[in-house]
Structure 1
Amino acid sequence: MSRDTVVAGRYAKALYSAAVKKGITLEVEQQLKTVVEVLHLDQEVKRFIHAPRISQSDKLKVLRTALQDKLSPTVMNTVELLVERGRTELFADLLETYIKIEGDALGIGDATVYSAYPLSEAEQNTVAAEFSQITNRKIRVTNLVDTSLLGGLKVVIGDTLYDGSLSGKLARLEKSFNDKHRG
């Protein structure tokens, strides 16, 4: 585990604790997603934040103006703290750890579902229901298209991969044939 991941974990725990006290845990998650999208996906913002010639106070002024109506004071304080300390690279790890802490506390699991084509809402709900029974948690699905899949699904929940893809089944079948012919 990297040092940054450990540090992000500390911030995530503190932020989750503050969010629980205010009753805004899910709102904080959405706000953190917004911050990560803005700071990591928008190249102009990313260059601005990492520009060495712009002072931290000027960066904070711009961020406060841009984000003040979109973030709760709790999340804004975290953003300000990390910008002041020059630790904006922690936001993605912070979000990931926050979601894990929140999921553990609320009995929610996040599943990344890889499919050969975009799943409909009904199909996503079916996958969520199926894996809710397996994991004993409420499952939230994020669907990603993987054109290398011939069919079926690959589902990742935490550190566990459930490979129901056709290519995965073919690979397991090939392995079983190879094992039988060696013995």
Structure 2
Amino acid sequence: MAELVAKRYAKALFQVAFEMNRYEDVTEELAFVAENLKQHSDLNELLKSPVITLGEKKEILSTIFKEQISPEVFNFLRILLDKSRQGDFQEIYEEYKILADAGKNKIEAVAITALPMDNNDLLKLQVNLSMSSGKNVKLKNEIDPTVIGGVLVKMGDKIIDGTVKARLNQMQDQLLQIIV
């Protein structure tokens, strides 16, 4: 449910920012807010607290952010407070980044391997993924010791399984078809 809410709010903000041709600026401003909330966990807790009134929360928000972010982002934060969605800010920000990257024809991908990939192999994989997807892929490598060998790529909602386990499963399926 929270993911759906985050997507809706992110999409609404992105549409406004895109129409104003400011979606990159808004991304930076949201990053600024996210970083402040992360660094000052007490501020985050204060904005979530049911003890603090809505008016007080808006005043706190105004004091801290009003002069440092655009009116659009500031009003968006106020809407989150009005709708009691301030606790969903981080998820909304993450969803917004995905939309902003798509607007720039960018996509983030993760290559999961048993051992760290060297930069040359990572770059080759990134180029191949960019060519096959038609998007500018930003690839990072994550280590998972449960991956026996090969690579598992997660790119948006796509999963490309090039692991040894997947290949063995394919071979097993093929052998079972021959035997039957």
TM-score normalised per structure 1: 0.73
- Unaligned 5+ segments in structure 1 are none
How many pairs align? 180
Distance apart, 1:10 and its partner CA: 3.8
Alignment partner of 1:81 out of 41, 62, 79: 79
Aligned to 1:48: 46
Q: Could you say what secondary structure the match of 2:165 adopts?
A: helix
Residues 118/41 of structure 1: CA separation in 2 closer, same or farther (3 Å cut): farther
* 1:134 maps to which of 132, 135, 142: 132
* Residue of structure 2 equivalent to 1:24: 22
State whether residues 48 and 87 of structure 2, in contact with CA within 8 Å, keep that contact through their aligned partners in structure 1.
Answer: no
Structure 2 residue runs without a partner (length 5+): none
- Alignment partner for residue 11 of structure 2, among 3, 13, 23? 13
Where does residue 58 of structure 1 map in the other structure? 56
Aligned counterpart in structure 2 of residue 114 of structure 1, from 107, 112, 115: 112
Larger-Rg structure: 2
CA RMSD after TM alignment:
3.3
Deviation at 1:78, TM superposition (A): 1.5
Which residue does the alignment assign to 1:101?
99
* 1: CA distance, partners of 2:37 / 2:123: 31
Q: TM-score, normalised by structure 2?
A: 0.74
Describe the SS at the equivalent of 1:147.
Answer: coil
